[in-house]
Amino acid sequence: MSMGELPSLTIPRYVFKHPRPRKPDIPRIYEAHVGMSGEKPEVYREFAENVLPRIRAKNYNTVQLMAIMEHSYYASFGYHVTNFFAVSSKSGTPEDLKYLVDKAHSLGLRVLMDVVHSHASKNVTDGLNGYDVGQSAQESYFNTGDRGYHKLWDSRLFNYTNWEVLRFLLSNLRYWMDEFMFDGFRFDGVTSMLYNHHGINMSFTGNYKEYFDLDTNVDAIIYMMLANHLIHKLLPEATIIAEDVSGMPVLCRPVDEGGVGFDYRQAMAIPERWVDYLKNKDAHELSMSGISQTLNNRNKDQTIILGRREYYGP
């Protein structure tokens, strides 16, 4: 380096060494937040070295990673995203995350990303909020007025009628698949996307009028159909999961059959009932009819994922 020449700040790009594991017939998924995976805050490389082997040893075949996209509010568990194309800097660099995914693949573990396309942080200085100020309601990234704000999540809601929003979100999915070799996604907050009421104060009974009426968010459903079609086109063996509490009948039917295209619905009621029994009930208080109803409360053609959330490692 000559006198006065600035040093290079180029970071070597990580080169993946291991192929994607084949798609399992039955996914056994371990959900993890890298920063909360041990007694001390973990980073991507430490998680790869210390936690992944333990997950594999417990006979899981898939890891689902939370809080991957950049977010400023740590207590949001990564769900108030401020930058959709940036790796969360709290846990390391993009190359560190690539190392983690590659390490998982070397152990035969597939890696799913918890993707948040249902809403975004309301932050202006470090988020998308305010990016579209001055544009018309049709051209804005977020819905205007009350439709653009989720009162329970305190966050902004995307305007799925805008083609630029569709391009932004679809390219975001491809970015994470191509650049970081994720094997699929778990879509967060799908119930909020399916309905204009976002599922707030709703008790779904299975009546089809609850799923297909004027409260159905057709534009968001079209986006999810496009997303699932794109993902399966790019990676036919991808695994795509929808977090939905409503039991939307066609959620897990193929797009070419008129379905939304997800592979699985994450059935939240089953683990919640199980945890309630473990924490609050004695053995003689267990309701077999209640257990049966919870297990069978789904469309017979719908594939579901059962499981309990764990934030603190194996």
Active site members: 188, 243
Contact (Cβ atoms closer than 8 angstroms) between residue 155 and residue 80: yes
